[in-house]
Amino acid sequence: LAKTTQPISMDSYEGQEVNITCSHNNIATNDYITWYQQFPSQGPRFIIQGYKTKVTNEVASLFIPADRKSSTLSLPRVSLSDTAVYYCLVGDMWGRGFQKLVFGTGTRLLVSP
């Protein structure tokens, strides 16, 4: 699985848009990009995933350029409750009966008033 690189930490203020970029230079054809969020004392929670172009759901957008060597998680109008660690991961779309994910250290997002 491709290794991912993302910023260790980011700071923002309430109401701002936050973009977290992840690098995955060695992504394979069968790989997809997935993002998880983790609050203190909780397990990670799935946010969004995609293979190419743009994916949007009720909480975030994911932008993936044509070469797929990076991706950007966009959180619109963050609030204090978005303070968490965000993990960018690459998964094998054709995983044979299981999903092997490799978690890095993630990006620690701090949202201030």
Partner 1 sequence: NAGVTQTPKFQVLKTGQSMTLQCAQDMNHNSMYWYRQDPGMGLRLIYYSASEGTTDKGEVPNGYNVSRLNKREFSLRLESAAPSQTSVYFCASNIGTGDQPQHFGDGTRLSIL
- Report which DSSP code applies to 4: -
Q: Which two tokens stand for residue 21?
A: 């970029």
Q: How far apart are CA 29 and CA 40, in angstroms?
A: 34
Binding of partner 1 at residue 91 (CB under 8 A)? yes
Q: Please list every residue from 58 through 77 that binds partner 1, using CB under 8 A.
A: none
**Shortest distance in whole angstroms from residue 38 CB to partner 1:** 9
Contact of 87 with 35, CB cutoff 8 Å: yes
Q: Considering the complex, state which of residue 16 and residue 108 has its C-beta at the smaller distance from partner 1.
A: 108
Q: Where on the chain is the footprint of partner 1 (CB under 8 A)?
A: 32, 34, 41-46, 49, 87, 91-106
